[in-house]
Structure 1
Amino acid sequence: MPNHSRIRADAFHRPLSPAERLYVAAAGPRTPLVIQFIVRGTGGFDVAALSEAVRVASQACPGARLVRRGRTWVDSGLTPPVRTLVGDDDAGLPFLDEPLDPESGPTCEVVVVHGSRSLVVFRAFHGVMDGRGVLAWAHDVFRALRGERLAGAPSADTELTVLRRTRPTVEPPVVRFDRPAPLPDLARCTEPGELRWARHTVAGNHAGVVARIATAIASTADGARVMVPVDLRRHTDARSTANLALPILLDVVAGADWSTVHTGLLTALAERRELAVPGGLRTIAHRAPNAVLRSLLRRAAGRGYPCSAVVSHLGHVELAAFSAPDFTATAAYSLPVHDPVTPMSVCVTETDDRTEIALAYRARPDSDGTTARALLHAMGDAVIGERQAVDGETVLSRFLAQVRRSPSAVAVVGRDATLTYEELDRRSDAVADLLRANGVAAKTVVGVLAERSAAAVVAIWGVLKAGASYLPLDTHHPARRINTTLVAAGARVCLAQRLQRQRITAPCEVMVLEEAWLPATARRPVTPAPHDPAYVVFTSGSTGAPKGVVVSHGALASYTGWAVRLYGVDRDTRFAVFTSLAVDLTVTALFLPLLVGGSVVMVPDEVNHVSLREVVEQCGANSLKLTPTHLDLIYRLDLRPDGFRLLVVGGEQLRTDLVRRVRWSFGENCRIFNAYGPTEATVECVVAEYDPEVHGGVVVPIGTPRGETSVLVLDREGDDPVEPGEFGELCLAGDQLADGYLGAGPAESARFVVLPSGRRAYRTGDLVRQLPGGEFEYAGRIDRQITVRGHRIEPSEVEVALERHPEIGRAVVSAVESATGEMVLRAHVIAAPGFDEADVRRHVAATLPWHMVPQSVVPVGELPHTTSGKTDLAALYPPVVDEVIRIWARVLGVEPDAVTPDTEFHRLGGTSLTLLKVLALIAVDVVGAEREADFMTHLRQIVRTPTPRAIGAAVERALALS
């Protein structure tokens, strides 16, 4: 260990201040009064090196070594211990409830938690340190780890020292213990209750955070009194870890504007009102024995609270300051101290590009904490205010900043060109100039019809620089689909590659991309506002027509901000783009690397075994965004990728057996994320990183919400949240939410709702439940929407296209498993005698993308109906599926009505052994002995998708061989 600092601590001691005496008197086994500063990150710690760093830092910050001797803190000379534990949930780790003994010590310690992510916790009894003191100590520990000079905190100053040096000029406040708890599920002062923590993260740093949170608390009742601790270090130059904070009391009326509250807080700070401590309280705290102080605190607690909540602000924390050679900090925050005379405490920590809000409260034993968590999210909503981009930035401003940082770095690799950041910037400038010269402005929609190429990337950035929103179009879609999409979007201009120009017949101006790369003028890019549209993506519509989802710059900036951090995207990232630009799956790969100095590899070929081999083994990419179907194909091709660091998987349910096999192929150094998110919530917003030690079920959960996304799981009526563990409809809220649909009718607009809290949300139509560990598990659709190869499809849109054929009267579309194990579309139709199936499929292909063309069109005499009058899809399945359902129900001891063609075996209590019993009975009763071996060759696919539909498909394939 190098010589970090010349600061030495010799026989450090100091008297307890009045505030510290109150903390000593109030502390107990159920009231630990421990400040806990938490740093999360990737990598790990050498425990011996960390212990040495703690030793050196604690010499420079001797307040970390104190123990109490009567009314004096004395330097024990002992280094705070370093403990190592295993766990994941920082708010559920048992050691967080443990007190630190001020009499025998230690009063400070460091705990390292190894789990899916590393966690280091700096713990200090509040009697020896305040929040800023713990922060100073933690800073020096990391400085020591990095071999840097320490700052040290050798001063013995406390709040009493500052008060003796200053003369307040304002009257002290009147403190009365007359405030009720702001929420009904909080324990009263005199009642036993469980100490709980909750945490919420919002993007960006925001003005008036404390005032905004105070208004949210005031909204729970008829106003609130909020206690705001103020750091007294602003009155002294001394560096001390001791308690140097005194409060300001803010009275906030319900419905108050945060700016008014913020002005009041600034005024109080200007008047130095935190120094106006009531004289009687100060005298009692300074002179009364501990037993008397404890008695006074219990008596006061019986009358109520002095405030509705304590809201403290730890200040701005640079994550780089808490990184070490083998550890990279990704989050930092402090859990609030909860004392017995306040109903709840809030601590705010601002880091590089996010704001952490942590809540501590003591709940009644019968409380599930729902209202406390709702208040925490309301605080987050109040902090965000109107939807805005992270730090007021957009992807355009971040891209331009990156151009200045790395102009000569490679940005885009395409078959048509390889462009540096400077070249991409210059060419997109030229496109933007051309667009603006032709009247393109803010809120204009510009179509982009180009294959996956460098030209497409130039076009997208050119549109954004012109202040317009881009509409990505797929060159493989039928011309009719392309033109109807342009018309529906109201596109005035379409940028198209030369080979695509003749396909556009819509009433819009067509500009050839190859002719737009002319020298740019000196015009500056338009600066879009957060609420301006960034892009429009069309998805399958439930009304029979596609619908355009409008995503704002604010939503896109919010998504890219947290996705870059979560996935660890940096200048070494090379993302391959090999799926359709017309779906938002590609937004991840197109934007994230270009905001941090990485590169994009454009692969123009359609997905097949040849192109996938190029993507995985030849194009030089090390990161992919893809569907489970792609993953399965990669595995079946027996590819051996080298050097991959990231797979982001989405669009379909991800099975654990598949990701386990793929992880073996890609190597343990490749991080795999299961990412969920509808287009209406900007790409993805609920994410789980696959962990083989945690994710051992049949499917990988979709994870937990990220960034600003809030999740509600509502009952069938959509009125109330379901209990944890119960299935319900997933409802999303947050600043990643799209603006809505272009020209949407009532049915589509109804997806966007206003919650009782007044917050706007999106009802996804997806069925989920929350698992005990907090992650969410996807269980299918509550409506008819289906997914094929990562594409969300509304069957009604395909049905409308089928029914436009002159020989088709009625059509019903569903998804079935093909012989290769993939999900494909099957249509049942009432058709004219002798209809031509190939002609019907060609008719659909002329208006719909390839993935929406049914693989088979089956004629039926009539469409069966349920008792409620809806089409009975189950009755359309092959008879063999009905037979499988009957056998299944018999083995599991359930009614056949409880089993649908898509019911998963394990959801009804099935095990591996009972599944084998079902398969054996099917082999005897349905397949027959002569085809049993053929049937069992499909065992791998059946185990992967154990549903009656999948088993029925395997039976049909076996019988087809006879």
Structure 2
Amino acid sequence: MSQHTLTEPAPATGFRRPIAPSEWFFLGHPAELAATLQIVVEGTGTLGAGELREAVAVASAACPGSRLVPDGRTWADSGVTPRVRVVDGRGLGAAGVLALPELQAPITGEPRCEVVLVEGDPISVAFRADHAVMDAKGALTWALDVFRVLRGELPLGAPDPVSDRDVFADLPEAEELVTPGYTQAPVLDGCEPTDHTRFVAGRRSIQGSHPALVAKLATLLTREDAPSLFYIPVDLRHRRPGVRSTANFSSGFYLQVEAGEDAGSVHERLLRELADGAAVRKAPPTGLLDMPLSQVAEAMTTIDRRSRERDAYPSDAVLAHVGRVELDLLHTPGFTAHSLYPLARPCPGGAPELNVVEVGGRTEITLAWWAGARTAGRIEALLDRIAEELSPAADRYRAANETAVEPSTSDDIVRRFLHQAAETPDALALDAPGEKLTYAELAHRSGVVAATLRELGAGPETLVGLLSDRSVAAVVAIWGVLRAGAAYLPLDPVNPDARIAGLLADSGAPICLVERPSRERDCLPPDCVKLVIEDLDFAAEPAVPEPAIPDDRLAYVIYTSGSTGKPKGVEITHGCLRHYVAWAVREFELDHRTRLPLLASIAFDVSVNTLLPPLMAGGAIVVRPGEITPGLLHELLTSSGATMLSLTPSHLALINHLGLRPTGFRKVVTMGELLTTSVAREAQEVFGPDCAIVNSYGPTETTIVMTLHPFDAATDTRGSVPIGVPTDNSTVFLLDAHGRFAPAGTTGEVCIGGAQLARGYLGRPDITRQKFVRLADGTRVYRSGDLARLLPTGELEFLARTDDQVKVLGHRIEPAEIVRTLEGHPAVARAVVVPRGTGEQKALCAYVVARHEVTTEELHRHLAGLLPKYLIPAATVFVTDIPQTVNGKVDVRALPEPFPAGSGPVAQENRDAVTEQVAAIWAELLDVSPDHIAADADFHELGGNSLLFLAMVAAVTRTVVGESGSEAFNAQLGRLVHEPTLKSVAETAREAAMTTA
């Protein structure tokens, strides 16, 4: 709790204000007919009654309207905190919280507000107020302050002693309100109320927001054979800007809708009425204040009796839109709110109450009226009609989402691996240069790692850092961490020390397993224990207990680039991996013949597809540490015995450039970025017709692969290959800009649900709540930020991003992280980073506004000391200002071209044949004219990236150097990396060719 926690009710503040005529009207209702407003917050987690009581006390002192009692014709602050009641909500029927007696009954006693905590799953908190002291917006104001206090924040309070009375005092021309004749049949016609002490309510959560919603509801509820009349309440606080009051500020007007009238014309009339002041045209009669409350009560009893006798009411329905509420305002450290909805106790003699609020990407609708024999059924039928009108089942339902499958085994991945090791102890598990491990040897070594970690206290939810290349040691360490019951945090040794130290510090990992080449690096926080993997006692015979690992146990954390400028760790659980591996083994047809090379860094989640599934099926991992070179790829593709590849489309494009014809491959699976149809076609030719080229899609937050599509050259004729349909026990929904389900063929944001969904972001509940949300039906989904559309085949086609995130070489990049690091340099006033080019030619470019003179080399060194290589821009351009569009966004088209090759031809002095050949290769790869490439041109500054560089080296080897000189040329790769100019590459190629002459 915050410093404002109170253990005793706050004393009266002296707050007083006159009772408004509208409030006197509600104050005079007989107790059994009292109108009660309720704001219900629904969520999961923990919310203790004690902390809630303390928060209600603090918030109510700041919102004295919740503690009012009548003193004559004046409201006075009683100083008494509204009571908090606790109700057991477990085992409720289909009606759930709506049928609780505690929410059915009117509020009795003083003050006229209370809070009801309904314990169960979900947890519900109902803020209840007599309409005499508050309107719905007032109750919401009070509720939001309670949640502010629960978060340890100061309440905003509602100290202003004003109400609708003050608004109408400013409008002396307003006529006194006269209720229309009781001639209307309500939307629930035929449901004659029989019990005015109990009401029936129904609720629907409808996905997205719906513009012109009141007009749409009015037309939907209008009878086909006659006009309908609706009462439209309006919050008048906008007429007193800046006012904070919980009092009644609700007034309204009647709107007649003709049979067959369209929603557009009704909305236009509604807006015109609001603009013309319809809500304040009729003032509550001031004469009400002259009536004794007993007389008001008698009048209300008469009105209610006559309405029932005549089955006639002042309108067909009340249509009340409470507004929009941000879900973030309803969270606490232990409680995650999923929704909020209004629930009104009907007024005596009044029409059915239909209340609406927009919250958390959904529209909540409740419909309530007095109990009758047919009321419940009619309410449910009407709400079904509304839901179907606003969110058609055809848009909500996708056959491809019918993915429920019982996994082939309930074993966690550790027990499954150990079972495989027991079944095939002598089978090859790891194949590395000079080192091959059988399943028995891998099980033994990983057991040593597990025992060592347990001796250091590692166990459930312990994060263990892993600083290692793609190596045998890395695979052993990963399985050792998992067998210890802990979770691993992969760290790429090519990253700078500052980056590694920052991730270890952010994660709080107490232990770090380090591969021997990195043992001398000074990149571990002082309190992090370092263990050199190769130095462990692998001769020992450890006793490692192997209890079953529950699905909710953390398995690994992988950090991704952060939109806030700070990397964020994605938490993947054993349940995610259990479901994914079961699907992958079946879908990829893995077996004892499978040999899968480990091509990706272990800090990239693509690597998990190689590290886990093959070992569940008796297959082997082909391990080749070090930089990926054309020579290494040549060996992997032609002589390593590999039968499958799991890689990014950029790596596949590189292989297409190598001029090889691999044999023995059964499947090539791409993931991590867009696969163009041209790259897929080329790959099909390279690997042959017997090898399946499979495109997959899956953000890190959804465990490796979420959708899959086998490439078919005959039918896949679009620019990019579809991303397919969901994996087992997974679902994909497309939501439009309003958060509604996107109809087939239209664009929507990819929202992913199911068993592979990450737990969230490590230590970042705020971002977790933003990205992992619940749909209207309660389904938890990850908002990917990717845009796609549903094809006629039922498959998904990736289109673009909703934000600035980009993919370069399979890496997910948030430019904000690079900008934040650039602007951390004292010479940089402002920076922007954008991608240039497309596909395999895509590269990051930085545009910098400098405070004082600084070189690109200095900025490059600054970035290289803090960021991974893939986040360092290929080019840096100094500008005097960052151009913007009229919307305040960076105008990318107005930024200068970063690569000088497009400026025009350059002088060519005595180019020999080798230089001309190399220039021609550069021109083809970089899509520039060879005449525009100077001798000192840098390959990367012309728009090249690391994979295109390897493709260039391979092409020069094949077409310029020749097979006999390839070894000598590739031996100079380090020199070329540090001096990637046309002159240097040509000289190196010339020298290599001469050594074999």
TM-score by length of 2: 0.51
Separation of aligned partners in 1, 2:547 and 2:511: 18
State the alpha-carbon separation in 1 of the partners of residues 891 and 596 from structure 2: 44
Shift of 1:704: 1.0
C-alpha distance after superposition, 1:238-259 (max 9, x if no partner): xxxxxxxxxxxxxxxxxx99xx
Aligned pair count reads 542
Shift of 1:528: 1.6
Helix, strand or coil for the counterpart of 2:519? helix
- Verify the 8 A CA contact 2:511 2:530 in the aligned structure 1: yes
**1:784 matches 2:804:** yes
Cα distance in 2 for partners of 1:420, 1:880 equals 50
Deviations 1:584-643 (CA, angstroms, capped at 9, x unpaired)? 011111111100100001111222322222221232211111111111111111011111
Paired residue for 2:479?
461
2:493 corresponds to: 475
| Pair 1:940–1:878, CA change in 2 (3 A) | closer
Query: How far apart, CA to CA, are the structure 1 residues paired with 2:791 and 2:396?
Result: 19
1:73-222 correspondence to structure 2 within 5 Å: none
Answer yes or no: is 1:610 the counterpart of 2:631: yes
- Equivalent residue number for residue 801 of structure 1: 821
> Residue 219 and residue 426 in structure 1: after superposition, are their counterparts in 2 closer, same or farther (change >3 A)?
farther
- 1:688 corresponds in structure 2 to 709
Amino acid at match of 1:841: H
Q: Label 1:498 to 1:879 Cα distance change in 2 as closer, same or farther (>3 A).
A: closer
Separation of aligned partners in 1, 2:559 and 2:687: 33
User: Alpha-carbon deviation of 1:469?
Assistant: 0.4
- Cα 1:634–1:524 change in 2 (3 A) is same
Specify the SS of the correspondent of 1:483.
helix
Matched letter for residue 829 of structure 1:
V
Question: Within 1, Cα distance between the matches of 2:401 and 2:865?
Answer: 51
Could you tell me which amino acid in structure 2 is paired with residue 876 of structure 1?
L
Q: CA deviation at 1:795?
A: 0.3
Equivalence map 1:410-429=2 (5 Å)? 410-415=428-433, 417-429=435-447
Match for residue 780 of structure 2?
760
Equivalent in 846, 854, 879 of residue 865 of structure 2: 846
Cα 1:857–1:940, aligned 2, differ >3 Å: closer, same or farther?
A: closer
Within 1, Cα distance between the matches of 2:574 and 2:434? 29
Distance 1:673 1:376 in 2: 22
CA contact (8 A) 1:816 1:826 kept: yes
| Counterpart mapping for 1:697-716 below 5 A | 697-716=718-737
* Paired residues for 1:574-589 under 5 Å: 574-589=595-610
Work out the CA distance in 2 between the residues paired with 1:373 and 1:544: 36
In 2, Cα distance between equivalents of 1:572 and 1:626: 19
The DSSP-based 3-state class of the residue aligned with 1:446 is strand
Does 1:371 find its partner at 2:393?
yes
Alignment of 1:212-251 (within 5 A): none
**Corresponding position of 1:724:** 744
Aligned-partner SS, 2:798: strand
1:289 corresponds to which residue? none
What is the TM-score of this pair, normalised by structure 1?
0.53
Aligned mate of 1:405, from 410, 414, 423: 423
- Distance in 2, matches of 1:535 and 1:880, equals 40
The answer to whether the 8 A contact 2:516-2:534 is kept is yes
Match of 1:635 in 2: 656
**2:465 is matched with which residue: 431, 442, 447?**
447
2:695 to 665, 669, 674: 674
Structure 1 distance, partners of 2:414, 2:407, is 11
Cα 1:499/1:693, change in 2 over 3 Å: same
Please give the per-residue CA displacement for 1:68-107, whole angstroms capped at 9, x wherever unaligned: xxxxxxxxxxxxxxxxxxxxxxxxxxxxxxxxxxxxxxxx
Amino acid at match of 1:634: I
What is the deviation of 1:680?
0.3
Alignment of 1:319-358 (within 5 A): none
Shift of 1:393: 2.0
The equivalent residue for 1:561 is: 582
Q: Is the contact made by 1:416 and 1:454 (CA closer than 8 Å) also made in structure 2?
A: no
Q: Which structure 2 residues correspond to residues 618-657 of structure 1 after superposition, within 5 A?
A: 618-657=639-678
Partner of 2:412: 394
**Partner Cα distance (1:880, 1:535) in 2:** 40
- Bigger-Rg structure (1/2): 2
Q: 1:936: how far off?
A: 14
The match for 1:830 is 849
Q: CA deviation at 1:523?
A: 2.9
Shift of 1:832: 3.8
**Aligned in 2, Cα 1:404/1:868: closer, same or farther, shift over 3 Å?**
same
Could you tell me which residue of structure 1 aligns to residue 524 of structure 2? 505
1:392 match: secondary structure:
coil
Alignment of 1:875 with 2:894, yes or no, is yes
CA spacing shift, 1:378–1:591, aligned 2, 3 Å: closer
Q: 1:598 to 1:370 in 2, by over 3 A?
A: farther
Contact 2:396 2:741 in 1 (8 A): no
Matched with 1:185 is none
2:537 pairs with 1:550: no
How far did 1:833 drift?
4.3
Distance 1:496 1:580, change over 3 A: same
Aligned equivalent of 2:759: 739
The answer to whether the 8 A contact 1:935-1:954 is kept is no
Conservation of the 8 A alpha-carbon contact between 2:395 and 2:741: no
Counterpart amino acid of residue 803 in structure 1: E
C-alpha distance 370-440 of structure 1, shift in aligned 2 (>3 A)? same
Where do 1:248-327 residues align within 5 Å? none
Aligned partners of 2:841 and 2:926 also within 8 Å: no
RMSD of aligned alpha carbons = 3.8
* Aligned equivalents of 1:614, 1:219: Cα separation in 2: 65
Paired residue for 2:561, among 526, 531, 540?
540
Contact 1:629 1:822 in 2 (8 A): no
Q: Deviations over 1:429-458 (max 9, x none)?
A: 111000000111110000111111111111
1:219 and 1:377 map into 2 onto residues whose CA distance is 29
What SS class does the counterpart of residue 732 from structure 1 fall into?
strand
8 Å CA contact retained: 1:827, 1:856 = yes
CA distance in 2, matches of 1:937, 1:805: 34
Q: What do residues 158-184 of structure 1 show as CA deviations (whole Å, max 9, x unaligned)?
A: xxxxxxxxxxxxxxxxxxxxxxxxxxx
CA 1:757 to 1:436, structure 2 compared with 1: closer, same or farther past 3 Å?
A: same
Pick closer, same or farther for the CA change 1:751–1:726 going to 2, 3 Å. same
Q: Does the 8 Å contact 1:447/1:491 carry over to 2?
A: yes
**What is the match of residue 5 of structure 1?**
none
CA pair 746-696 structure 1, distance change in 2 beyond 3 A: same
Structure 2: distance between partners of 1:394 and 1:824 = 40
Shift in Å at residue 878 of structure 1? Answer: 3.0
User: Do structure 1's residue 484 and structure 2's residue 496 form an aligned pair?
Assistant: no
- Amino-acid identity (%): 39
Consecutive unaligned residues in structure 2, runs of 5 or more: 1-90, 100-119, 122-384, 904-918, 929-940, 945-980, 983-997
Q: Deviations over 1:820-857 (max 9, x none)?
A: 95211100001144311011111101111111111111
- Alpha-carbon separation, structure 2, partners of 1:442 and 1:526: 12
- Per the TM alignment, residue 747 of structure 1 is displaced from its structure 2 partner at its CA by 4.1
> Partner of 2:520: helix, strand, or coil?
helix
Q: For the Cα contact (< 8 Å) 1:468–1:534, is it kept in 2?
A: yes
